[in-house]
Amino acid sequence: MGPQKIILFGGTFDPPHNGHVHLLQNAIAAVRPDRVVVMPAGTPPHKAASATPARWRLEMCRCFLPLHENLVVSDWEIKRAGKSYTVDTLAMLRREYPDAELFLCMGSDMLTSFTEWRDWQTILKSAALVVQSRTEGDDPELQAAARALEPYGGRVIFTRAPAVELASSDVRAGRLPDGALPPLAAEAARRHHLYGR
Protein backbone atom coordinates (compact mmCIF):
# COMPACT_ATOMS: atom_id res chain seq x y z
CA MET A 1 0.00 0.00 0.00
CA GLY A 2 1.22 3.49 -0.87
CA PRO A 3 0.82 6.64 1.21
CA GLN A 4 -2.61 7.91 2.15
CA LYS A 5 -4.01 10.28 -0.51
CA ILE A 6 -5.79 13.42 0.68
CA ILE A 7 -7.62 15.97 -1.50
CA LEU A 8 -8.01 19.53 -0.21
CA PHE A 9 -10.84 21.53 -1.77
CA GLY A 10 -11.02 25.10 -0.52
CA GLY A 11 -13.03 28.14 -1.50
CA THR A 12 -15.36 30.85 -0.30
CA PHE A 13 -18.37 28.66 -1.17
CA ASP A 14 -20.82 31.57 -1.17
CA PRO A 15 -22.68 29.45 -2.13
CA PRO A 16 -21.36 26.00 -3.07
CA HIS A 17 -23.06 25.13 -6.36
CA ASN A 18 -23.27 22.19 -8.76
CA GLY A 19 -20.14 23.39 -10.58
CA HIS A 20 -18.20 22.88 -7.33
CA VAL A 21 -19.79 19.46 -6.86
CA HIS A 22 -18.88 18.50 -10.45
CA LEU A 23 -15.29 19.70 -9.93
CA LEU A 24 -14.78 17.74 -6.70
CA GLN A 25 -16.56 14.65 -8.05
CA ASN A 26 -14.18 14.50 -10.99
CA ALA A 27 -11.11 15.17 -8.83
CA ILE A 28 -12.14 12.24 -6.61
CA ALA A 29 -12.53 10.02 -9.70
CA ALA A 30 -9.07 11.05 -10.97
CA VAL A 31 -7.17 10.68 -7.68
CA ARG A 32 -9.17 8.02 -5.78
CA PRO A 33 -8.28 9.58 -2.41
CA ASP A 34 -8.50 8.02 1.03
CA ARG A 35 -9.73 11.28 2.54
CA VAL A 36 -11.26 14.54 1.26
CA VAL A 37 -11.11 17.81 3.18
CA VAL A 38 -13.50 20.59 2.14
CA MET A 39 -12.30 23.89 3.60
CA PRO A 40 -14.56 26.97 3.45
CA ALA A 41 -12.39 30.08 3.66
CA GLY A 42 -12.53 32.45 6.60
CA THR A 43 -11.37 35.66 4.92
CA PRO A 44 -10.21 34.84 1.37
CA PRO A 45 -7.13 36.90 0.38
CA HIS A 46 -8.22 37.58 -3.21
CA LYS A 47 -11.85 38.58 -2.64
CA ALA A 48 -13.84 40.92 -0.46
CA ALA A 49 -14.98 39.28 2.77
CA SER A 50 -18.12 37.24 2.18
CA ALA A 51 -21.38 38.86 3.23
CA THR A 52 -22.74 35.41 4.09
CA PRO A 53 -21.87 34.38 7.66
CA ALA A 54 -19.20 31.69 7.84
CA ARG A 55 -21.39 29.33 9.86
CA TRP A 56 -23.98 29.32 7.06
CA ARG A 57 -21.37 28.74 4.34
CA LEU A 58 -20.05 25.86 6.47
CA GLU A 59 -23.57 24.45 6.76
CA MET A 60 -24.15 24.68 2.99
CA CYS A 61 -20.88 22.76 2.40
CA ARG A 62 -22.56 19.69 3.86
CA CYS A 63 -23.76 19.21 0.27
CA PHE A 64 -20.33 17.69 -0.48
CA LEU A 65 -20.64 14.91 2.13
CA PRO A 66 -22.30 12.34 -0.19
CA LEU A 67 -19.35 12.50 -2.63
CA HIS A 68 -16.95 10.42 -0.51
CA GLU A 69 -17.31 8.14 2.50
CA ASN A 70 -14.34 9.81 4.21
CA LEU A 71 -15.08 13.48 3.53
CA VAL A 72 -14.92 16.15 6.22
CA VAL A 73 -16.06 19.76 6.05
CA SER A 74 -13.49 21.60 8.14
CA ASP A 75 -13.91 24.91 9.99
CA TRP A 76 -10.14 25.29 10.50
CA GLU A 77 -9.76 28.35 8.23
CA ILE A 78 -12.93 29.93 9.59
CA LYS A 79 -11.69 29.63 13.18
CA ARG A 80 -8.29 31.16 12.34
CA ALA A 81 -7.76 34.88 12.66
CA GLY A 82 -6.70 36.79 9.54
CA LYS A 83 -6.76 35.89 5.88
CA SER A 84 -6.92 32.30 4.63
CA TYR A 85 -3.91 31.26 2.56
CA THR A 86 -3.75 27.85 0.93
CA VAL A 87 -0.06 27.48 1.80
CA ASP A 88 -0.93 27.66 5.52
CA THR A 89 -3.77 25.16 5.20
CA LEU A 90 -1.52 22.68 3.39
CA ALA A 91 1.13 23.12 6.10
CA MET A 92 -1.51 22.26 8.72
CA LEU A 93 -2.51 19.13 6.79
CA ARG A 94 1.15 18.17 6.42
CA ARG A 95 1.60 18.41 10.22
CA GLU A 96 -1.53 16.33 10.78
CA TYR A 97 -0.74 13.75 8.08
CA PRO A 98 3.06 13.83 7.67
CA ASP A 99 3.24 10.80 5.35
CA ALA A 100 0.24 11.59 3.16
CA GLU A 101 0.26 12.51 -0.51
CA LEU A 102 -1.62 15.81 -0.79
CA PHE A 103 -3.71 17.01 -3.75
CA LEU A 104 -5.21 20.46 -4.23
CA CYS A 105 -8.48 20.55 -6.20
CA MET A 106 -9.15 23.68 -8.27
CA GLY A 107 -10.95 25.10 -11.28
CA SER A 108 -9.07 26.10 -14.39
CA ASP A 109 -9.30 29.83 -13.58
CA MET A 110 -7.22 29.14 -10.47
CA LEU A 111 -4.52 27.36 -12.49
CA THR A 112 -4.08 30.24 -14.93
CA SER A 113 -3.62 32.71 -12.04
CA PHE A 114 -1.69 30.30 -9.80
CA THR A 115 1.62 32.20 -9.85
CA GLU A 116 -0.17 35.12 -8.17
CA TRP A 117 -0.89 33.00 -5.07
CA ARG A 118 1.11 33.51 -1.90
CA ASP A 119 4.13 31.16 -1.73
CA TRP A 120 2.96 29.26 -4.80
CA GLN A 121 6.34 27.52 -5.15
CA THR A 122 5.89 26.11 -1.63
CA ILE A 123 2.40 24.91 -2.55
CA LEU A 124 3.84 23.02 -5.53
CA LYS A 125 6.29 21.26 -3.21
CA SER A 126 3.45 20.30 -0.89
CA ALA A 127 0.71 19.12 -3.23
CA ALA A 128 -0.17 18.06 -6.76
CA LEU A 129 -2.82 20.21 -8.46
CA VAL A 130 -6.01 18.55 -9.69
CA VAL A 131 -7.64 20.79 -12.27
CA GLN A 132 -11.10 20.78 -13.83
CA SER A 133 -11.84 22.95 -16.85
CA ARG A 134 -14.52 25.58 -16.22
CA THR A 135 -14.77 26.84 -19.81
CA GLU A 136 -15.05 24.86 -23.05
CA GLY A 137 -12.02 25.29 -25.30
CA ASP A 138 -9.51 26.42 -22.66
CA ASP A 139 -7.33 23.31 -22.94
CA PRO A 140 -4.36 24.93 -24.80
CA GLU A 141 -4.17 27.70 -22.18
CA LEU A 142 -4.32 25.16 -19.34
CA GLN A 143 -1.63 22.93 -20.86
CA ALA A 144 0.65 25.98 -21.23
CA ALA A 145 0.02 26.99 -17.60
CA ALA A 146 0.82 23.45 -16.41
CA ARG A 147 4.05 23.33 -18.44
CA ALA A 148 5.13 26.68 -16.95
CA LEU A 149 4.91 25.16 -13.46
CA GLU A 150 7.01 22.08 -14.26
CA PRO A 151 10.42 23.77 -13.64
CA TYR A 152 9.20 24.51 -10.10
CA GLY A 153 8.23 20.90 -9.43
CA GLY A 154 4.61 21.44 -10.39
CA ARG A 155 2.53 18.34 -11.03
CA VAL A 156 -0.86 18.97 -12.63
CA ILE A 157 -3.54 16.30 -13.06
CA PHE A 158 -6.41 17.17 -15.42
CA THR A 159 -9.76 15.51 -14.75
CA ARG A 160 -10.71 15.55 -18.47
CA ALA A 161 -14.40 15.94 -17.62
CA PRO A 162 -16.68 18.33 -19.54
CA ALA A 163 -16.78 21.90 -18.24
CA VAL A 164 -19.74 23.15 -16.19
CA GLU A 165 -19.96 26.92 -16.44
CA LEU A 166 -21.46 28.12 -13.17
CA ALA A 167 -20.34 30.94 -10.88
CA SER A 168 -21.28 31.72 -7.27
CA SER A 169 -21.55 35.41 -8.21
CA ASP A 170 -24.37 34.50 -10.64
CA VAL A 171 -26.23 32.65 -7.88
CA ARG A 172 -25.87 35.63 -5.53
CA ALA A 173 -27.15 37.94 -8.27
CA GLY A 174 -30.14 35.68 -8.97
CA ARG A 175 -29.04 34.94 -12.54
CA LEU A 176 -29.18 31.14 -12.24
CA PRO A 177 -32.18 28.82 -11.70
CA ASP A 178 -32.85 27.02 -8.43
CA GLY A 179 -31.32 23.84 -9.87
CA ALA A 180 -27.83 25.40 -9.77
CA LEU A 181 -27.50 24.49 -6.10
CA PRO A 182 -27.28 20.95 -4.69
CA PRO A 183 -30.38 20.12 -2.59
CA LEU A 184 -28.64 20.42 0.82
CA ALA A 185 -27.17 23.81 -0.08
CA ALA A 186 -30.46 25.04 -1.56
CA GLU A 187 -32.32 23.96 1.58
CA ALA A 188 -29.87 25.86 3.81
CA ALA A 189 -30.08 28.92 1.55
CA ARG A 190 -33.89 28.91 1.84
CA ARG A 191 -33.77 28.41 5.60
CA HIS A 192 -31.50 31.41 6.08
CA HIS A 193 -33.12 33.51 3.28
CA LEU A 194 -29.91 33.75 1.26
CA TYR A 195 -29.56 34.84 -2.38
CA GLY A 196 -33.20 35.89 -2.66
CA ARG A 197 -34.43 32.40 -1.78
DSSP 8-class letter at 83: B
Alpha helices in 18-75 (DSSP H): 18-31, 54-60
Q: Which domain holds residue 120?
A: 5-191
Neighbours of 161 (CB within 10 A): 15
Residue 180 is classified by DSSP as G
Q: How does residue 88 score in pLDDT terms, banded at 50, 70 and 90? A: very high
In a domain, 29, yes or no: yes
**Averaged pLDDT score across all residues of the chain:** 90
- Decide if 146 is inside a domain: yes
Per-residue pLDDT, 76: 96
Q: What is the pLDDT at residue 138?
A: 78
The answer as to whether 61 is a domain residue is yes
Residues 171-192 have pLDDT tens digits of 787 776 668 899 999 999 999 9
Domain assignment present for residue 121? The answer is yes
- Residue 170: inside a domain: yes
Q: Does 169 fall in a domain?
A: yes
Query: What CATH code is carried by the domain that includes residue 129?
Result: 3.40.50.620
Count structural domains, the chain. 1
pLDDT band at 48 (very low <50, low <70, confident <90, very high): low
Place 83 in a pLDDT band, splitting at 50, 70 and 90: confident
Mean pLDDT of 55-74: 97
Name the least confident of 2-16, 110-124, 130-144, 162-176: 162-176
pLDDT confidence of residue 6: 98
177 in a structural domain: yes
- 146 touches 25 (CB < 8 A): no
Q: Does any domain span residue 196?
A: no
pLDDT of res. 26 = 95
- Kindly state the average pLDDT of the residues 108-134: 94
Query: What is the C-alpha to C-alpha distance for residues 67 and 69, in angstroms, rounded to an integer?
Result: 7
Q: pLDDT at position 49, please? A: 57
Residues 6+ apart with CB under 8 A from 34: 4, 5, 6, 70
Q: Which of 132, 101, 108 is nearest to 7 (CA)?
A: 101
Across residues 163-175, what is the average pLDDT? 77
